[in-house]
Amino acid sequence: MSKVVLSLKNAEIFQRENLVLSNVNLHLNEGEFVYLIGKTGSGKSSLMKTLYGDLPLEKGTGSIAGFDLNNLKESEIPFLRRKLGIVFQDFKLLNDRNVFENLKFVLKATGWKDEAKIKLKINEVLSKVGMETKDFKMPFQLSGGEQQRVAIARALLNDPELILADEPTGNLDPATSVGVMNVLKEIHNSGKTILMATHDYAIILKYPGKTIKCEGGELFEVVQQRG
């Protein structure tokens, strides 16, 4: 039996007081790679925000990485996020420090103290995304694709049970997007579970996978045509 990493049952997703998705049933098993697609405003981002504790789950039941979303206390949100790797569309790197210091900041904030272990871990995750020679560079010295690779490395720091990638190629050109997708696919092949929100259908055609669609206030699985 595969371990269930994410489960939503009859959930209703709100953006402030507006109901954006109803009767949401979503289950992710360990090791899956699932796309979440839909037009802008269809509820993808609100669903993602509910999963990492930015929006409360007010109706239905939900659990993620061992946390109960219905009874998630504000004090538990940082601990939930340590079990998740979150990759945003706009990278969210700290512009006043270099790549190494960006990653070190996250490790320090999550309780790492041993400097030697910190250095080893940072080198390990940068190597996974092909950025090990650029740890001294400032974010503004990197291309968009390189910044997103660093953001993916950051998401891997605490060995997350689940990676939530919210439009990770949204600000990138097609060629750069392919490079970032190759990184995500390699990470998935190493055993990580990934839920990726995207409206880039070209990527899904190039890298087919299980696809869930937000449309008309509902969530449903898309059966992809082969051949």
Residue type, 194: I
Cβ-defined contacts of 106-109 (< 8 Å, 24+): 106/154, 106/157, 106/158, 107/157, 107/158
Q: Which of 195, 198, 181, 164 is nearest to 84 (CA)?
A: 164
Establish if 79 belongs to a structural domain: yes
What is the number of structural domains in the chain? 1
CATH number at residue 204: 3.40.50.300
Residue type, 172: L
Phi-psi region of 109 (alpha: psi -120 to 50; beta: other; left: phi over 0): alpha
User: Largest Cα–Cα distance of the chain, in whole Å?
Assistant: 52
> Rounded to whole angstroms, how far apart are CA atoms 79 and 57?
17
Confidence of residue 224 (pLDDT cuts 50, 70, 90): low
> Rounded to whole angstroms, how far apart are CA atoms 25 and 62?
9
Confidence of residue 222 (pLDDT cuts 50, 70, 90): confident
Establish if 103 belongs to a structural domain: no
Establish if 117 belongs to a structural domain: no
Confidence of residue 41 (pLDDT cuts 50, 70, 90): confident
Q: How many CA atoms lie within 13 A of 54 on its CB side?
A: 9
Over range 145-160, report the average pLDDT: 95
**To which residue do tokens 């990485």 refer?**
65
Q: What is the pLDDT of residue 227?
A: 42
Establish if 116 belongs to a structural domain: no
Burial grade of 223 (CB within 10 A; 0-12, 13-18, 19 or more)? exposed
Establish if 55 belongs to a structural domain: yes
Tens-place pLDDT, residues 173-211: 999 999 999 999 999 999 999 999 998 888 999 998 899
Tens-place pLDDT, residues 44-101: 999 999 999 999 998 999 999 999 999 999 999 989 988 999 998 888 999 999 999 9
Question: In this model, does residue 226 exceed pLDDT 60?
Answer: no
CB-based contacts of 120: which residues, under 8 Å, 6+ apart? none
What percent of the chain is modeled with pLDDT above 70? 98
Establish if 49 belongs to a structural domain: yes
The boundaries of the domain holding residue 57 are 4-92+161-222
> Rounded to whole angstroms, how far apart are CA atoms 219 and 48?
13
Q: What is the pLDDT of residue 40?
A: 83
DSSP 8-state code for residue 84: E
Over range 5-21, report the average pLDDT: 93
Tens-place pLDDT, residues 112-142: 999 999 999 999 999 999 999 999 999 999 9
Identify whether the C-beta of residue 187 lies closer than 8 Å to the C-beta of residue 194: yes
Average pLDDT, the chain: 92
> Rounded to whole angstroms, how far apart are CA atoms 131 and 170?
20
Establish if 218 belongs to a structural domain: yes
Q: What is the pLDDT of residue 156?
A: 95
Establish if 13 belongs to a structural domain: yes
**Angstrom distances, CA of residue 88 to CA of 7, 51, 57, 119, 194:** 22, 14, 21, 24, 13
